[in-house]
């Protein structure tokens, strides 16, 4: 349960509260069987002060103004983690026949302009693929930047971080991913967190089928290439033999399942589902299977064997061919082998969008550098966001770059990138930090002074503290810590406190009165031996 003071909201007017149940956090919200294997309906009565709008992930709601009481009822069985509540200074607008957006008043018009008419288009496309949308309404609430992830698929009421509103293509993908969860994850749920891919891998596959139907195959392939790049990046960090790269992960006692949320759950899971679809020959045949799968198992929880048995029974000719035992691509190996996916999708339909990225990257990284040819080969202002972030991610992978290259990159692109969205800007600023490029360091400071969300602060602080700029990071943190949620503040303190022996002297006169010892008193052992953070990609639940 996240309680926010008014200054941690956009409007700075009223306090705010929201819950985040995934994976096993709702046991701190209400007594429950906090496992995805158990589903039930629920009702709730919530008393709130006048002027506070309360919402829950429920199919029915009423409000008694005289009592100041909201009553909610979810008529379909859901696992505990999908019970969600939010309350604050929220207003709404209808954006479709069964959808509305909720946001703080100062954000509402932006939300309307980004999503009006779009959600119904995505729902209709999803229904054409996977059958009726069973939850009634599909509403969206935009949360303050303290929301710890990008999005959460609470039924009837998707939670999304407001920070993503400025990045149109990321917003589209994130909402469509949550729409896909209405079928895969919410209607049919993984019975154990050890098989989270049953929700995330299938939802990612469905998301890409929806984007292909609505935006074309090229866009889908571009987004997929960007995510698979991130998967391989994470694999280098974790190592190919790391057990968390399995689709069927073993949960040890005392381990929080959320610690196993990684790109393998999404992208390796997606690759396995895509492989199954290719065995059918035509993705529309696989769509038919998934419709039957949803119809058979809706409102229940399943294990991987349920999906795979249903698949083979639906396609008896594949069962006769023993596709589950095909050498090197055995279903069992997909589920239990560590390392990369056993097969990846053909992304050639996206070449019109990915080839210019590859060309530009090659021009900037081939020696000797021909900066004139590189600068004139592409106009980033005309590129899609996913093209630009793919290009910048590859430069990040190659960092540190020769000083002459980073200097020319800055001359060509830095001012252009200043006016682009935060997903692009943070990547350029990570390049600046990893290359110790001091002429653009003031932009890092300005960015962190204006960001309060985990996804736009943690990656930069990690990079600043990995290199030679920790004192610079400390200085910014002292100045900005009071505008950060206590949870985020503590995480950054842990990053800053690693390896501080002794603590460097910093001039804090421009910031708060806290001394370094006070600021860093919360150092904990998890800072050094916890899971590797997803510094290069934002994950939706």
Annotated binding-site members: 177, 181, 200
CA distance 452 to 489: 10
End-to-end CA distance of the chain: 17
Contact 457, 492 (CB under 8 A): yes
Which H/E stretch holds residue 311?
A: helix 304-314
How far CA 508 is from CA of 473, 498, 527, in Å, comes to 12, 20, 24
Is 133 among the catalytic positions? no
CA-closest candidate to residue 238, choices 466, 533, 527: 533
Burial class (CB in 10 A: 0-12, 13-18, 19+), 499: exposed
Binding site residues for Zn(2+), as ranges? 177, 181, 200
CA distance 187 to 471: 49
CA distance 107 to 16: 15
Residues near 123 by beta carbon (within 8 Å), at least 6 away in sequence: 96, 98, 99, 133, 138, 179
Active-site annotation holder among 178, 223, 344, 423: 178
**CA pseudo-torsion sign 240, 244, 247, 250:** positive
Which H/E stretch holds residue 42?
A: strand 39-47
Write down the number of H helices and E strands in the chain.
22, 14
How far CA 135 is from CA of 10, 187, 247, in Å, comes to 30, 9, 29
**CA pseudo-torsion sign 11, 17, 20, 25:** positive
CA-closest candidate to residue 244, choices 531, 541, 536, 455: 531
Contact 321, 315 (CB under 8 A): no
Burial class (CB in 10 A: 0-12, 13-18, 19+), 327: exposed
Active-site annotation holder among 42, 70, 266, 270: 266
Q: Which residues share a beta bridge with 86?
A: 18, 55
- Supply 68's token pair: 């100041």
CA-closest candidate to residue 361, choices 351, 374, 373: 374
Is 178 among the catalytic positions? yes
CA distance 249 to 241: 13
Contact 378, 362 (CB under 8 A): no
Q: Which residues are catalytic?
A: 178, 266
């Amino acid at each position: 349960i996240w309680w926010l003071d008014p200054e941690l909201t956009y409007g700075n007017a009223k306090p705010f509260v929201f819950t985040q149940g995934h994976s096993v956090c709702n046991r701190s919200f209400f007594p429950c069987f906090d496992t995805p294997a158990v589903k039930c309906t629920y009702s709730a009565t919530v008393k709130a002060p006048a002027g506070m709008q309360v919402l829950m992930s429920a199919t029915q709601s009423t409000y008694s103004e005289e009592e100041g009481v909201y009553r909610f009822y979810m008529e379909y069985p859901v696992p505990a983690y999908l019970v969600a509540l939010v309350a604050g200074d929220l207003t709404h607008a209808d954006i479709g026949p069964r959808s509305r957006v909720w946001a703080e008043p100062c954000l509402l018009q932006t939300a309307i302009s980004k999503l009006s008419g779009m959600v119904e288009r995505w729902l209709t496309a999803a229904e054409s693929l996977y059958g009726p949308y069973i939850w009634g309404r599909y509403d969206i609430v935009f949360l303050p930047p303290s929301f710890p992830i990008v999005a959460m698929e609470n039924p009837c009421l998707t939670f999304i971080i407001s920070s993503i509103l400025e990045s149109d293509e990321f917003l589209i993908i994130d909402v469509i991913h949550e729409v896909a969860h209405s079928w895969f994850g919410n209607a049919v749920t993984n019975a154990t967190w050890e098989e989270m891919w049953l929700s995330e891998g299938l939802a990612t596959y469905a998301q890409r089928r929806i984007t292909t139907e609505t935006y074309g195959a090229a866009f889908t392939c571009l987004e997929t290439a960007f995510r698979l790049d991130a998967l391989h990046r994470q694999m280098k960090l974790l190592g190919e033999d790391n057990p968390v790269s399995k689709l069927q992960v073993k949960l040890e006692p005392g381990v929080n399942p959320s610690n196993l949320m990684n790109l393998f759950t999404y992208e390796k899971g997606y690759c396995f589902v895509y492989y199954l679809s290719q065995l059918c020959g035509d993705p529309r045949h696989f769509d038919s299977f998934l419709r039957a799968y949803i119809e058979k198992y809706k409102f229940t929880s399943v294990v991987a064997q349920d999906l795979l048995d249903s698949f083979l029974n639906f396609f008896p000719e594949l069962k006769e061919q023993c596709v589950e035992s095909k050498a090197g691509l055995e279903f069992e190996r997909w589920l239990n082998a560590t390392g990369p996916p056993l097969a990846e999708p053909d992304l050639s339909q996206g070449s019109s969008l990915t080839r210019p990225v590859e060309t530009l990257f090659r021009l900037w990284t081939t020696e000797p550098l021909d900066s004139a040819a590189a600068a004139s080969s592409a106009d980033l202002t005309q590129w899609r966001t996913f093209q630009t972030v793919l290009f910048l991610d590859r430069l990040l992978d190659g960092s540190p770059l020769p000083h002459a290259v980073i200097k020319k990159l800055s001359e060509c692109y830095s001012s252009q990138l200043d006016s682009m969205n935060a997903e692009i800007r943070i990547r350029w600023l990570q390049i600046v930090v990893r290359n110790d490029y001091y002429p653009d360091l003031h932009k890092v400071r300005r960015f962190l002074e204006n960001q309060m969300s985990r996804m736009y602060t943690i990656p930069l602080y990690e990079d600043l503290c990995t290199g030679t700029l920790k004192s610079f990071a400390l200085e910014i943190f002292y100045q900005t810590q009071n505008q950060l949620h206590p949870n985020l503040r503590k995480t950054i303190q842990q990053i800053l406190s690693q390896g501080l022996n002794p603590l460097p002297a910093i001039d804090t006169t421009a910031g708060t009165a806290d001394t370094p010892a006070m600021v860093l008193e919360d150092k904990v052992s998890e800072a050094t031996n916890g899971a590797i953070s997803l510094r290069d990609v934002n994950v939706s639940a």
